[in-house]
C-alpha cells in the first residue's frame, strides 16, 4: 500500500444516511475509487450488500433495522479502529440507532462522521433506483422509509450533502473536502 506523504494513517467511519435512492451508495463508490487511487485503505459497507450477508434473515421492523445498523456499525468500528476509511451508505432511519453507533466509536476512541445525503423524497421517488417507490404506490410494498415508515433526519450531522442539486461526483468531492478538513486524508 502506498500512502501519500502528509496523509493520516487514521481510520474513520463515515455513515452516509438518507432516504432510499438518495444517492448514498453512488457517492460512497465514487469516493472510495478516488481514495483508493490515492493509496488509502477504504472499505464500503453498503446497506444492501450487508442485508444480503451480515444481516441476512433480518426484516424491516424497527428492531430489525436497529440490529442491522448495530451489526454494520460494529464492523465499521473495528475496521476504522484499524486504520481503514469506512464508508457506510445505509438508510439508518432512526436517530437512536445512529447515535448508538456513534457512541460505540466514541467509547473505543475511533473517529466517526455522520453525513446526511439530503435528497427530498419526491426526487428519490423520481429516481427510484430499485423500483421501491413504484411498488409502494402499487400497494405491493409497505414500510418504505420516508413514505409510510419514519425517517428521522439527523439533528447535527458533520455534513449535509444536497445530492439533488449537484452531480454525484460533486457530492463525492464535498465529502472528500470534509475528510481533508478533518485530516483523514491529505
Among 28-32, 144-148, 156-160, the least confident range: 144-148
Average pLDDT over residues 39-47: 95
- Name the grid cell of 186: 491529505
Which residue's entry shows cell 439508518? Answer: 92
What single DSSP character describes residue 169? H
Per DSSP, the chain holds a count of helices (H) and strands (E) of 7, 5
Name beta bridge partners: 154: none
Q: What is the pLDDT of residue 2?
A: 33
Q: What is the pLDDT of residue 6?
A: 40
First vs last C-alpha separation in the chain: 16
Q: Whole-angstrom Cα distance, residue 72 to residue 104? A: 12
Q: What is the pLDDT of residue 75?
A: 97
Average pLDDT over residues 129-146: 92
Q: Whole-angstrom Cα distance, residue 82 to residue 16? A: 20
Q: What is the pLDDT of residue 9?
A: 61
Phi and psi dihedrals of 5, rounded to 5? -55, 140
Instruction: Give 34 or 48, the one with higher predicted confidence.
Output: 34
Instruction: Give 7 or 87, the one with higher predicted confidence.
Output: 87
- Answer yes or no: pTM beyond 0.85: yes
Mean pLDDT of the chain: 92
Report the candidate in 81, 85, 56, 80 with the shortest Cα–Cα distance to residue 68. Answer: 56
Q: What is the pLDDT of residue 95?
A: 97
Average pLDDT over residues 40-69: 90
Chain segment 71-124, per-residue pLDDT in tens: 999 999 999 999 999 999 999 999 999 999 999 999 999 999 999 999 999 999
Amino acid at each position: 500500500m502506498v500512502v501519500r506523504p502528509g496523509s493520516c494513517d487514521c481510520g474513520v467511519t463515515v455513515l452516509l444516511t438518507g432516504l432510499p435512492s438518495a444517492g448514498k451508495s453512488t457517492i460512497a463508490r465514487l469516493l472510495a475509487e478516488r481514495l483508493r487511487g490515492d493509496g488509502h485503505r477504504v472499505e464500503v459497507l453498503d446497506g444492501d450488500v450487508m442485508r444480503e450477508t451480515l444481516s441476512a434473515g433480518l426484516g424491516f421492523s424497527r428492531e430489525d433495522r436497529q440490529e442491522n445498523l448495530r451489526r454494520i456499525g460494529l464492523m465499521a468500528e473495528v475496521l476504522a479502529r484499524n486504520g481503514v476509511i469506512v464508508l457506510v451508505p445505509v438508510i439508518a432511519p432512526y436517530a437512536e440507532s445512529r447515535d448508538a453507533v456513534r457512541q460505540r466509536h466514541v467509547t473505543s476512541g475511533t473517529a466517526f462522521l455522520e453525513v446526511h445525503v439530503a435528497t427530498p423524497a419526491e426526487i428519490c421517488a423520481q429516481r427510484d433506483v430499485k423500483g421501491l417507490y413504484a411498488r409502494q404506490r402499487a400497494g405491493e410494498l409497505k414500510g418504505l422509509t420516508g413514505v409510510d415508515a419514519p425517517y428521522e433526519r439527523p439533528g447535527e450531522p458533520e455534513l449535509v450533502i444536497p445530492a439533488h442539486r449537484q452531480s454525484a461526483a460533486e457530492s463525492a468531492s464535498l465529502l472528500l473536502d470534509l475528510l481533508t478538513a478533518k485530516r483523514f486524508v491529505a
